[in-house]
């Protein structure tokens, strides 16, 4: 046990030192010489203070991310080897007679412990965003969202965990395949109800008040054969200065949504370009391709987890006070493996996402024929979010589901030149 703890802590500290060196000293974020002075060079659209702040803000946010992910692994490892998970299981058995209540009690204590120990990362991230004026959300409002997050995640995950262990008890060898089959309708159902049940828990949504702009957006939607009767506005200005717009939901619950910050900071042509980009995702069925990719990765992931869980419990079960994979106390190991495999697959899923985002950008350019609006909107997005135009390679690899702003501004600017020629 001491060896596992010391090795885990040692590796985490070494990784933290490496990532801090990489982000603050080792990574190259300079603009390529051939693009210096171009519209993609932040020197041309950011002032000196914005340049400094964007670099600082991005470095700190990236550091927090790369420290928080392995911290989660460390946390689940310690919960297992210190016998905390086994203690929670024993408390649950003493506290309730029925297995479903025992699962609910066990999972509540596990969720609460993980949330409390992870809270400093979330709190520091909030304070950093507040310091750099990205977040304008009050502490009370942020805490409200934090608590909503906890209970929504607890309710959804309790359902998943309950079904998962029922399947493991029914079929120790094939539970992973049955779990995957059930995840298909469950994932589709969540995507269907999210716009009408989950999203309104955090923000108020209402039809776009600018009817003239709404008409133009719906004309674009009609041109793209997208069935939409309304464009929704969400009051994000109470929480952030960042900009965003998106198409969410599936089927009859599909929605076109604009943040009010986007409406305030961008002009009409820029908004129409962004909306055309979002419509591009719909037209090219990226959401369904994304669902298919997610389900494929889930199938592979659950298969690997089943093999790894059996191997780890067989070898180190006594150390963790876990008798078999049917024991609810093995749950931290399940979460640990999900987190590790998810992190390992991020470069692949991000690469696919970046390709889709570029396709959506090109679609929007072809629809609006306005590369100036594209370039200026990306420049404003960079200023509003204080994001690095040319982030470090590892950051792009693990964090960027969109092309970098350097890339987006460059190819959208060149698109018109090619048309002119």
What pLDDT score was predicted for residue 418? 45
Q: For residue 128, tell me if it sits in a domain.
A: yes
What pLDDT score was predicted for residue 299? 94
DSSP code for 390:
S
Q: For residue 129, tell me if it sits in a domain.
A: yes
Q: For residue 384, tell me if it sits in a domain.
A: yes
Could you give the residue ranges of the DSSP H alpha helices within 82-138? 84-95, 99-131
- Which structural domain range is residue 322 located in? 2-202+285-420
Tally of domains within the chain: 1
Q: What is the pTM of this model?
A: 0.87
164-202 pLDDT per residue, tens: 999 999 988 899 999 999 999 988 888 888 887 888 888
What pLDDT score was predicted for residue 224? 75
324-370 pLDDT per residue, tens: 899 999 999 999 999 999 999 999 999 999 999 999 999 999 988 88
Q: For residue 149, tell me if it sits in a domain.
A: yes
214-250 pLDDT per residue, tens: 888 888 888 877 766 677 888 888 888 888 887 777 7
What pLDDT score was predicted for residue 416? 62
CA 81 to chain centroid, in Å, comes to: 29
Q: For residue 106, tell me if it sits in a domain.
A: yes
Q: For residue 82, tell me if it sits in a domain.
A: yes
Order of strands across the sheet that contains 231-234: 205-207, 231-234, 255-259, 245-248
- CA dihedral sign of residues 334, 401, 251, 377: positive
Q: What angle do CA 339, 344, 345 make, to 5 degrees?
A: 100
Q: For residue 81, tell me if it sits in a domain.
A: yes
Q: For residue 318, tell me if it sits in a domain.
A: yes
Is residue 415 scored above 50 in pLDDT? yes
Catalytic-labelled residue, pool 72, 270, 278, 357: 278
Q: State the SS3 of 296-358.
A: HHHHHHHHHHHHHHHHHHHHHHHHHCCCCCCCHHHHHHHHHHHHHHHHHHHHHHHHHHHHHHH
Is residue 77 scored above 60 in pLDDT? yes
117-133 pLDDT per residue, tens: 999 999 999 999 999 99
278 given a catalytic annotation: yes
Mean pLDDT, rounded, of the chain: 89
The radius of gyration of the chain's CA atoms, rounded to the nearest angstrom, is 24
243-296 pLDDT per residue, tens: 888 777 776 667 778 888 888 889 899 999 998 998 888 888 888 888 889 899
Rounded-to-integer distance, Cα 235 and Cα 199, Å? 12
Distances (CA, A) of 67 to 4, 16, 17, 54, 84: 19, 6, 10, 20, 23
């Amino acid at each position: 046990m001491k060896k596992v703890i010391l090795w885990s802590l040692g590796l985490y500290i070494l990784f933290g030192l490496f990532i801090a060196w990489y982000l603050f000293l080792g990574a190259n974020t300079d603009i390529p010489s051939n693009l210096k002075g171009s519209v993609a060079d932040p020197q041309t659209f950011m002032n000196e203070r914005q340049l400094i702040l964007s670099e600082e803000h991005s470095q700190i946010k990236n550091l927090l991310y790369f420290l928080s992910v392995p911290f989660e692994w460390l946390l689940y490892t310690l919960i297992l080897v210190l016998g905390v998970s086994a203690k929670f299981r024993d408390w649950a058995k003493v506290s309730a007679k029925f297995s479903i209540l025992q699962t609910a009690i066990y999972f509540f204590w596990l969720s609460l412990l993980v949330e409390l120990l992870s809270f400093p990362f979330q709190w520091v991230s909030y304070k950093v965003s507040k310091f750099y004026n990205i977040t304008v959300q009050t502490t009370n409002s942020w805490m409200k969202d934090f608590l909503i997050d906890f209970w929504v995640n607890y309710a959804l995950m309790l359902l998943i965990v309950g079904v998962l262990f029922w399947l493991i008890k029914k079929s120790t060898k094939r539970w992973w395949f049955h779990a995957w089959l059930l995840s298909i309708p469950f994932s589709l159902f969540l995507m269907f109800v999210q716009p009408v049940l989950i999203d309104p828990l955090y923000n108020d949504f209402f039809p776009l008040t600018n009817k003239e702009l709404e008409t133009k957006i719906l004309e674009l939607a009609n041109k793209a054969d997208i069935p939409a009767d309304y464009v929704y506005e969400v009051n994000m200005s109470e929480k952030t200065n960042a900009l965003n717009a998106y198409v969410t939901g599936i089927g009859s619950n599909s929605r076109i949504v604009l943040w009010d910050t986007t409406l305030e900071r961008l002009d009409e042509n820029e908004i129409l370009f962004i909306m055309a980009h979002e419509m591009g995702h719909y037209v090219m069925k990226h959401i369904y391709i994304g669902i298919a990719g997610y389900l494929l990765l889930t199938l592979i992931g659950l298969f690997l987890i089943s093999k790894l869980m059996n191997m780890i419990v067989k070898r180190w079960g006594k150390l963790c006070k876990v008798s078999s994979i049917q024991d609810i106390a093995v749950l931290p190991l399940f979460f640990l493996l999900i987190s590790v495999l998810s992190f390992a697959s991020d470069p692949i899923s991000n690469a696919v996402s970046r390709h889709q985002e570029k396709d959506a950008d090109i679609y929007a350019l072809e629809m609006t024929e306005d590369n100036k609006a594209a370039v200026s909107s990306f420049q404003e997005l960079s200023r509003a979010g204080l994001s690095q135009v040319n982030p470090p390679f590892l950051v792009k690899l693990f964090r960027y589901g969109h092309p970098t702003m350097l890339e987006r501004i460059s190819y959208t600017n060149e698109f018109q030149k090619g048309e002119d020629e």
